[in-house]
Amino acid sequence: MDRNNVRLLIKEATFDTDTIYCVASEINLLFSINLATQKICLIDCLPIDLYSSLKSMNFNDGKLEFLVEEDEQNYCFLLKEQHWVKIESTTCLKNFSIIDSNLKLNFEKKLTDNKILTQDNEGYIYIDNIKIPTIINGNEVEKILKKHDLELPNCGKLVKEGMTFNLNDSLALFLNRTDSISKTQTKNGLKIWQSICSQIDENNTISFQIKNKMKHLLQLMTELQKILFHSLENKRFDDAIKAMESNHEGMDDLLKFARKVELPLTSFEESVNEYKQLIYAVYYLIENNKPINLNQIIVSFTDTLSKINSIVNEIDTKISIIFMPYKASMWSALESIWQSAISDKKAKVRVMPVPYFEKNSDGSFDNIVYEGADFPKNVDVFSYENLDWDSELVDVIFIHNPYDENNRITSIHPDFYISNLRKITQKVAYTPYFVHMEPSKNDAAAYENIKHYALTSGVVQADYIYLQSDNIKNYYTTVLTDIYGNETKDYWESKIFAYGSPMIDKILQIKNSKIDLPIEWKEKLYSEKGEKKKVVLYNTSIGAFLEDSENMLYKIKDTIDFFANEDECVLLWRPHPLMKTTIKAMRPELLELYNLIIDKYLEENSGIYDVSADVNRAVAIADLCYGDPGGLIPLSQQINVPVLIQNAKFLNVH
């Protein structure tokens, strides 16, 4: 196949005597086809807002008019002047009907009473019986896009295999790119941390509240101490004993509070025990009718209580945070927030990975897994076994697993479901371990997909939800309002924030630093001449596998075989970290075939197989991301890596 040529599919079209004017599918290109000469001419790029909301187009007296979705800006293009004009109304526009076809045609429109425009999967269009190939030089496509400072086609835009581009076409267009992948640093984690600090400042942290309770308790004990001294002076020993009993109970309460805040606990316990010993001593003197040295008692009690007061006054009212990831490979969903938190001297921060269970096909718990040892060396891991459920209190717990018991593949340990976390925290904050693909407005399919995530425990029960964009926030809010009623809209709006994904922070940090790659990766990334190959990141997801399991395994094998014969690029296969667990639990009859595919891939050594905990490294070095929707695809979109969605029924080799 000629890799300098690209096939264009049509999104919308209109007709003028001997010329068809077309808008390309999945690329915002406007082009014309002369029926007499069969020549294709690129005209211009559609404005992005027009392209995303376009409903239909019409030729009218030397201009092209475009009908868009309701509330969007209408446009027309003046052909002679080669100029775009925004218009207020489109009363002369005609709506064209799309005609379904049983011949697997991608596109079919009635242009006039007598002419029908169709297009097939081969990229050919037909006007009645006239066959016209929509083939155009890739350099021309690139030239007109760059004229408008736009990226090459499908950069950051979803394209499905077997339509405008197949795998071969995509390599032709995108593997020569050198400057369009974003390296701009983001500060999403910092924005999320600042949001937390604005919600919980030093005057309403748990440590501040506890410190105030301890100070109030000490004030009461100081007054009781005065009653003790006065009662001893006047030999009202019953009143003295009552005052000491109250202060003894107060010391026990102080100890309980002290274990919930950051203070020198050993020194504090010693002072509390010293005070209790004084109480025991005076009680002994009273009970045994021994002489009492009131001045010595006053000095000893006052000095000891003063030491306790001094320690309490030094309590730092830091905001206390525990990050509770469960899989090391998903740590990037929290990492940049953690980095901002540990840089804040007003924060007490811990990272406590939680254990999780793999599930059997019947939903019962199987193996328990703990990945604490797999986290980066610079992360000081706090063991969940050391968590004191009776005394621990923290301001915020960050989670990235929203499912609790409702995941079919795994379950975090029930102790760490959100309902149980409420025992030890005021607030739960949730940020997803994934990035959503950005849908267009009012996309019914996207609504149904996002509904699955928006109604999880992590969203419904959390106090703060941090999402990647205003667009995704609007979808979440709409779903939740539809389910729980219009009167709840303000509630959801108030607790969902769009500050960007911390996962993007991590990838861009890697891209802007020297990437430490395994030796076996480096051996595959360079040709015999020492030239660096392009990296095609292959993303296989659980959702796509479950939807069409057997075909998906054949597709994976086909993709591996396709890239085994490529000299200019190398395949980096990154399956979902729970893929094998999923197959074992839900498609056990296919596990042997899946393992055979992996074994053959490793044996032939034709590409890279990445099942490490570091997902970001793979995305950071990718030149093209290919595979299933979700997972690494939207991450790649966010940093403008071109993407191509694989089609399980479309094989490139077999």
521 neighbors 571 (Cβ within 8 angstroms): no
Q: How is 2-17 classified by DSSP, letter by letter?
A: -TTEEE--EEEEEEET
CATH number of the domain enclosing 293? 1.20.120.660
Residue 653 lies in a domain: no
Q: Specify whether 334 is located in the same domain as 452.
A: yes
123 and 250 belong to one structural domain: no
CATH of residue 71's domain is 2.40.128
**Domain final residue pick, 471, 504, 537:** 504
> Is residue 290 located within the same domain as residue 397?
no
Residues 386 and 401 in one domain: yes
**Amino acid type, 81:** E
Look at residue 116 in the predicted model and tell me its pLDDT. Answer: 56
400: domain CATH number is 3.40.50
Residue 257 lies in a domain: yes
Q: Give the pLDDT means over successive 10-residue stretches in the chain (654 positions).
A: 57 78 76 79 76 77 77 72 64 28 34 53 57 57 52 40 50 51 74 93 86 95 96 94 95 91 88 96 93 94 96 90 94 96 93 94 90 94 92 93 89 95 94 88 86 94 95 96 96 96 90 84 86 91 90 93 88 92 91 96 95 88 85 82 79 68
Residues 142 and 109 in one domain: yes
Domains in the chain, number: 4
Residue 155 within any structural domain of the chain? no
473 and 337, same structural domain?
yes
| Within a domain: 164 | no
Measured CA to CA, the distance from residue 541 to residue 597 in angstroms comes to 16
Q: What is the pLDDT, as a whole number, of residue 76? A: 79
Give residue 28's domain range: 5-150
Task: Tell whether 358 and 458 lie within a shared domain.
Answer: yes
Instruction: Classify residue 567: in a domain, yes or no.
Output: yes
Are 339 and 468 in a shared domain?
yes
For residues 400 and 263, membership in a common domain is answered with no
Query: Any long-range contacts for 515-521 (C-beta under 8 Å, 24+ apart)?
Result: 515/617, 515/620, 515/621, 517/617, 517/621, 520/608, 521/608
Is position 436 within any domain?
yes
- Please tell me whether residues 281 and 378 are part of one structural domain: no
Within 288-395, residue ranges assigned H as helices are 294-313, 332-342
Q: Are 73 and 50 in contact (CB under 8 A)?
A: yes
Same domain, 461 and 549: no
Beta-carbon-side half-sphere exposure of residue 200 (alpha carbons within 13 Å): 26
> Are 404 and 450 contained in the same domain?
yes
**What's the whole-model pTM score?**
0.69
Residue 49 is predicted with a pLDDT of 67
159 inside domain: no
Query: What CATH number does residue 553 fall under?
Result: 3.40.50.2000
10 part of a folded domain = yes
- pLDDT at site 109: 46
Which one of 281, 313, 345 terminates a domain? 313
Domain boundary among 313, 331, 364: 313
Sheet with 10-16, edge to edge strand ranges:
10-16, 19-24, 29-34, 39-45
- Secondary structure string (H, E, C) spanning 257-279: HHCCCCCCHHHHHHHHHHHHHHH
